[in-house]
């Protein structure tokens, strides 16, 4: 008499187990569909492992599986162990000597290459003053750190961020990343920036010339600062100071992530098949003698989110990835070196059409858009805070 009952119990148990598997599978499917990439691209593939690794030879991971191109970056990456620590100018000196048409490169690119391996710069501080930026403590370690790249003269953009989406709430901290305010051939903004730093205590400044080709320096020096001043932050938003971020929607999204995704997160507007632009005189021009091949999948530098735990891993990768002039492409190279891939989200728009900035309802369901002027940033923020707004 017991066998039929045993079979009935076993059948019920198997049914419940199958139902559990089905529920988890459909839940994962819904999450995957939420990650449809920009312009209809499919979501990034699910990783076999979410733990970063750094193999002894990075060339295969970085896409150099066929005949080695003769371009300088490709050759350097093939031979590179780690970037020089002591004589950091050696890498740039070799580039100038070995690239046959180096003299024809744009001036800014030449300057970048000559000092690209130099990554140790002190903080810029007014004479006799200590840094006004406090370290994170165990009691106020932020859940989300807003790391906004700015330039010394962009006072209005920074103030607009402070008065809108950067107006920090519990668990959120705002920092601006800048180079030296002394400039190169421009006005000395040191006293104004020193006052701003003392007033708001949210400026991280380093003593290097603040030009677009040095944005990678901001990333690397900020990651190093995190390691000793804010090591336990959960997530980091890297954005430009002309971005508008829907903080409540972003927080909701981050808190709903599966833990395995959150541990290796690299989230934004993803470009998967980008290639170097070869037309001299245009932005983002890359000479063929410097780099050959396509770019890795990378998140647009206008704004993306990474998991805080990856900061030391990215620094390790950066020591073994040959310098590249564009900060977002370089970040993509470092993630690829770690064996991690970015995840696309349709709520990131880093080339937002100017004719749509007048419609707050168009931004209500998004996470990040740019570029916006300081005035548009403040106006849209006020409209979105209006309880009478109907979309």
What is the 3 state secondary structure string of the chain?
CHHHHHHHHHHHHHHHHHHHHHHHHHHHHHHHHCCCCHHHCCCCCCCCCCCCCCCCCCCCCCCCCCCCCCCHHHHHHHHCCCCCCCCCHHHHHHHHHHCCCHHHCCHHHHHHHHHCCCCCCCECCCCCCCCCCCCCCCCCCCCEEEEEECCCCCHHHHHHHHHCCCCCCCCEEEEEEEEECCCCCCCCCHHHHHHHHHHHCCEEEEEEECCHHHHHHHHHHHHHHHHHHCCCCCEEEEEECCCEECHHHHHHHHHCCCHHHHHCCEEEEEECCCCCECCCCCCCECCCCCCCCCCCCEEEEEEEEEEHHHHHHHHHHHCCCCCCCCHHHHHHHHHHHCCCCCEECCCEECCCCHHHCCCHHHHCCCCEECCCCHHHHHHHHHHHHCCCCCC
Please give the pLDDT value at position 359: 81
Residue 342 lies in a domain: yes
Q: How many CA atoms lie within 13 A of 141 on its CB side?
A: 13
Q: Is the dihedral of CA 189, 194, 199, 201 positive or negative?
A: positive
Measured CA to CA, the distance from residue 103 to residue 99 in angstroms comes to 9
**Backbone conformation region of residue 118, classed left if phi is above 0, alpha if psi is from -120 to 50, else beta:** beta
User: Are 194 and 167 spatial neighbours (Cβ–Cβ below 8 Å)?
Assistant: no
**Backbone conformation region of residue 251, classed left if phi is above 0, alpha if psi is from -120 to 50, else beta:** alpha
* 253 in the same domain as 200: yes
Measured CA to CA, the distance from residue 114 to residue 90 in angstroms comes to 8
* 197 in the same domain as 94: no
Please give the pLDDT value at position 17: 43
* 111 in the same domain as 148: no
Measured CA to CA, the distance from residue 181 to residue 208 in angstroms comes to 9
Strands 298-307 and 235-240: antiparallel
Residue 216 lies in a domain: yes
* 340 in the same domain as 266: yes
CATH code for the domain of 220: 3.90.550.50
Residue 278 lies in a domain: yes
Q: Kindly state the tokens that stand for 315.
A: 């620094």
pTM of structure: 0.86
User: Are 310 and 291 spatial neighbours (Cβ–Cβ below 8 Å)?
Assistant: no
Measured CA to CA, the distance from residue 368 to residue 382 in angstroms comes to 16
Q: Kindly state the tokens that stand for 139.
A: 């009691």
Residue 178 lies in a domain: yes
User: Are 299 and 342 spatial neighbours (Cβ–Cβ below 8 Å)?
Assistant: yes
* 181 in the same domain as 252: yes
Residue 367 lies in a domain: yes
Cα–Cα–Cα angle for 339, 66, 58, rounded to 5 degrees: 30
* 166 in the same domain as 87: no
Measured CA to CA, the distance from residue 52 to residue 47 in angstroms comes to 11
Please give the pLDDT value at position 1: 42
* 244 in the same domain as 99: no
Please give the pLDDT value at position 259: 94
Q: Kindly state the tokens that stand for 36.
A: 């449809």
What averages of pLDDT result for each successive group of 10 residues across the chain (391 residues)?
Answer: 48 46 34 33 44 90 86 92 82 94 96 95 87 83 96 97 92 96 82 95 95 95 96 97 96 96 97 95 94 96 97 97 97 97 96 80 90 94 89 84
Measured CA to CA, the distance from residue 147 to residue 303 in angstroms comes to 10
Q: Kindly state the tokens that stand for 344.
A: 């696309």
Count how many domains the chain has. Answer: 2
* 239 in the same domain as 347: yes
Q: Domain range spanning residue 328?
A: 144-385
Measured CA to CA, the distance from residue 331 to residue 260 in angstroms comes to 21
Nearest to 376 by CA among 357, 389, 391: 357
Residue 325 lies in a domain: yes
* 170 in the same domain as 98: no
* 79 in the same domain as 200: no
* 105 in the same domain as 211: no
């Amino acid at each position: 008499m017991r066998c039929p009952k045993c079979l009935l119990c076993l059948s019920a148990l198997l049914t419940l187990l199958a139902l559990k598997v089905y529920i988890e599978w459909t839940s994962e499917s819904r999450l995957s569909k939420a990650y449809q990439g920009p312009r209809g691209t499919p979501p990034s593939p699910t990783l076999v492992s979410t733990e970063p690794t750094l193999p002894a030879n990075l060339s295969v991971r970085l896409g150099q599986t066929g005949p080695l191109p003769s371009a300088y970056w490709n050759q350097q990456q093939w031979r590179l162990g780690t970037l020089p620590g002591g004589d950091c100018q050696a890498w740039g000196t070799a580039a100038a000597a070995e690239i046959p048409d180096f003299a024809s490169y744009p001036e800014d690119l030449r300057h970048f290459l000559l000092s690209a391996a130099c990554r140790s710069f002190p903080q810029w501080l007014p004479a006799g003053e200590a840094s006004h930026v406090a370290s994170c403590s165990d009691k106020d370690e932020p859940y989300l750190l807003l790391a906004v790249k700015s330039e010394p003269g962009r006072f209005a953009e920074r103030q607009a961020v402070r008065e809108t989406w950067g107006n920090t709430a519990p668990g959120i901290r705002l920092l601006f990343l800048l180079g030296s305010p002394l400039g190169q051939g421009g006005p000395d903004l040191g006293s104004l920036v020193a006052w701003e730093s003392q007033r708001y205590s949210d400026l991280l400044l380093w003593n290097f010339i603040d030009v677009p080709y040095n944005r990678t320096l901001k990333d690397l020096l900020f990651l190093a600062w995190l390691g000793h001043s804010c090591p336990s932050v959960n997530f980091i938003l890297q954005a430009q100071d002309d971005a508008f971020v829907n903080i409540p929607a972003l927080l909701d999204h981050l808190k709903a992530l599966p833990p395995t995704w959150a541990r290796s997160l690299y989230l934004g507007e993803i470009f998967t098949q980008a290639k170097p632009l070869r037309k001299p005189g245009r932005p983002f021009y890359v000479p063929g003698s410097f780099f050959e091949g396509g770019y890795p999948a990378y998140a647009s530098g206008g704004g993306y989110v990474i998991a805080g735990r990856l900061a030391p891993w990215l620094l390790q990768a950066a020591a073994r990835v040959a310098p590249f002039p564009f900060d977002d492409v370089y970040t993509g190279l470092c993630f690829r070196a770690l064996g991690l891939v970015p995840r696309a989200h349709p709520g990131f728009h880093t080339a937002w059409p100017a004719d749509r900035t007048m419609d707050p309802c168009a931004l209500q369901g998004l996470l990040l858009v740019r570029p916006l002027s300081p005035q548009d940033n403040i106006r849209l923020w006020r409209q979105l805070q209006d309880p009478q707004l109907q979309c």
